[in-house]
Amino acid sequence: MLCDEFPQISKTVLHEIVTNRLNYRKLCSRWVPKMLTDAHKTKRLGSALTFLTRYSKEDKEFLNKIVTGDETWVCHVTPESKQQSTEWRHSRSPTKKVQYNVVSTQNHVHCVLGQTGHSAC
């Protein structure tokens, strides 16, 4: 911390210099669910276009054939808090983005729901 490096200057004066003269602010990171690459975005767009094309050809019959699935990761780690993620940044610098998925001890659950309404987990 600055007060440890400059013990002769009071904390109030240091805060004044950093915030008003250097124009720095203490900012929190912004949580985002996933950081998608351009390849991921392109693949999702392709899947959506395929879905729409099939729907336009097969109409309601296509909707009856859909099987849905869900994947859930249950983490046993508490991610860092908003307070822990704060850092001093210049007021014009962009907000830091932090990916929300945390690698830890976890359980992985798959569920599939078929067209007859039966599910398997």
CA 11 from centroid of its chain's CA atoms: 35
Structure tokens at 90: 């210049």
pLDDT one digit per residue (tens) for the chain, 121 residues:
777 888 898 999 988 998 899 988 887 766 656 667 888 889 989 988 988 888 888 887 877 777 766 666 655 555 566 677 777 777 777 766 666 555 555 555 555 555 555 555 5
**pTM of this structure:** 0.35
Which among 108, 40, 100 is positioned nearest to 73, based on CA atoms?
108
Q: What is the pLDDT of residue 100?
A: 56
Q: What is the pLDDT of residue 105?
A: 53
Separation of alpha carbons 87 and 39, rounded Å: 31
CB 121 within 8 A of CB 91: no
Domain ranges of the chain: 2-77+84-113
CB 106 within 8 A of CB 74: yes
Coil vs helix vs strand at 88: strand
Separation of alpha carbons 117 and 121, rounded Å: 13
